[in-house]
Amino acid sequence: MAKIAILTGGGDCPGLNPVIRAVVRKAINEGYEVVGIKNGWKGLIENDFMPLDLASISGILPKGGTILGTSRTNPYKKESDLENLKENYKKLNLEALIAVGGEDTLGVASRLIKDGITNIVGIPKTIDNDLSCTDYTFGFDTAINIATECIDRLHTTAESHHRVIVVEVMGRHAGWIAVEAGIAGGADFILIPELPIDIDEVCNSIINRHKRGKTFSIIVVAEGAQFKEGSLITQEEKLDEFGHVRLGGIGERLAQEIEKRTGYETRVSVLGHIQRGGTPTAFDRILGTRFGVRAVELVLEKKFGRMVALSGNKIIDVPLENAVAALKTIDMELYAVAKVFFG
Ligand code: F6P
């Protein structure tokens, strides 16, 4: 029986289990055997996998996270890891590998294709929504709904105490979560990695708002935003295997500056991994399901080296290497909409 494998790599996000379920159901319908590689590329290096049958995917549709586990393992960091990966891949004797991930996991997939492991299909995942060639990645909708609810909750306490509250959301390279949750939650200023923070502009805007009678403000900042003159604020300097630092702390720095310059009492709330956990929204379940089914169809059609993607409301496929060539940063027309409500 021909065999398909699936792996999930990088930061987890709601919608991964609906993808796994869809891949397994569609593949079994088409007569394939399916194996799940555990913990992203790490599982292929260590030959760690599990059979995926109908029983193993039963009941996982509403569950967050991934039943396969994940890691930020980069097989290109160590030559012996790459060799083990290639050897184990060969032993598995696969018709195709479906890799579910963001810029790092799919970046590895794209390199492997160039290195001769050609029968790979990609599925785009990230709460950050920063992958190119797709209008949306699954996980993002859940993240912005969680962040919006948090902003709503922070509004009531900010208003009661007449405070400024800075809300730090995820978004390493792109401000999609900050902008969309900020628009939905009625943020009074939104700061994103794509635009340097002009602290005078932020404080003047808050002061003007208070002059017109408001006694509280909500400022949303993406973790990757930077002061004009500053650099990224990190929790530790250590780089992960893909060269990323662990971000976090810009909210606190911003809150200190705002309180110092405006005199308004300011608090900070860091949403962190809450944005990545829990049950996926209906949108993410449906998108993940559509991506999973289409990925198996691409295997049937022998269209390898492709990534499934959303264009408008249609599922399309694009060259994997195009999707990882550059990140999708914020649409400035959308940011202009958010700006209408600043101050
Ligand atoms: O890549 C998605 C993401 O959620 C980023 O927004 C964030 O910087 C990062 O993952 C956090 O990663 P970790 O879970 O490894 O701390």
CB of 306 within 8 A of CB of 152? no
**Per-residue pLDDT at 184:** 98
Tell me how far the alpha carbon of residue 186 lies from the centroid of ligand 1, in angstroms: 25
**Per-residue pLDDT at 234:** 83
* Rounded mean pLDDT, 293-311: 98
CB of 246 within 6 A of ligand 1: the answer is yes
List pLDDT tens digits, range 163-189: 999 999 999 999 999 999 999 999 999
**Per-residue pLDDT at 235:** 83
Q: Where are the beta strands (DSSP E) in 141-202?
A: 164-169, 189-191
β-sheet with 217-222: strand ranges across? 189-191, 217-222, 164-169, 266-270
Residue-averaged pLDDT of the chain: 97
Q: Which of 282, 280, 283 is nearest to 313 (CA)?
A: 283
* Rounded mean pLDDT, 264-290: 98
CB of 172 within 6 A of ligand 1: the answer is yes
Amino acid at 22: A
Please state the pTM of the whole predicted model.
Answer: 0.97
Q: How confident is the model at residue 232 (pLDDT cuts 50, 70, 90)?
A: confident
DSSP three-state, residue 240: coil
Tell me how far the alpha carbon of residue 11 lies from the centroid of ligand 1, in angstroms: 6
CB of 94 within 6 A of ligand 1: the answer is no
Q: How confident is the model at residue 230 (pLDDT cuts 50, 70, 90)?
A: confident
**Per-residue pLDDT at 237:** 79
Q: How confident is the model at residue 84 (pLDDT cuts 50, 70, 90)?
A: very high
Closest C-alpha residue for ligand 1 atom 13: 11
Q: Which of 249, 220, 244, 222 is nearest to 234 (CA)?
A: 249
Closest C-alpha residue for ligand 1 atom 1: 11
CB of 101 within 8 A of CB of 125? yes
Contacts of 264 (CB under 8 A, 6+ apart): 162, 163, 164, 206, 210, 217, 258
Q: Which of 273, 228, 276, 275 is nearest to 253 (CA)?
A: 228
Closest C-alpha residue for ligand 1 atom 8: 172
- In the chain, % helix, strand, coil (3-state, to 5) comes to 40, 20, 40
CB of 171 within 6 A of ligand 1: the answer is yes
- Tokens standing for 148? 């919006």
Q: How confident is the model at residue 231 (pLDDT cuts 50, 70, 90)?
A: confident
* Rounded mean pLDDT, 79-104: 97
List pLDDT tens digits, range 234-255: 888 789 999 999 999 999 999 9
* Rounded mean pLDDT, 312-334: 98
List pLDDT tens digits, range 1-42: 999 999 999 999 999 999 999 999 999 999 999 999 999 999
pLDDT at 58 over 80: yes
What percentage of the chain exceeds 90 in pLDDT?
97
Q: Which of 127, 144, 170 to mutate to test the pocket of ligand 1 (most atoms within 8 A of CB)?
A: 170
Gap between the Cα atoms of 7 and 116, Å rounded? 19
- Tokens standing for 329? 């940063």
* Rounded mean pLDDT, 133-150: 98
pLDDT at 291 over 80: yes
Q: Which domains are assigned to the chain?
A: 3-138+280-323 (3.40.50.450), 141-277 (3.40.50.460)
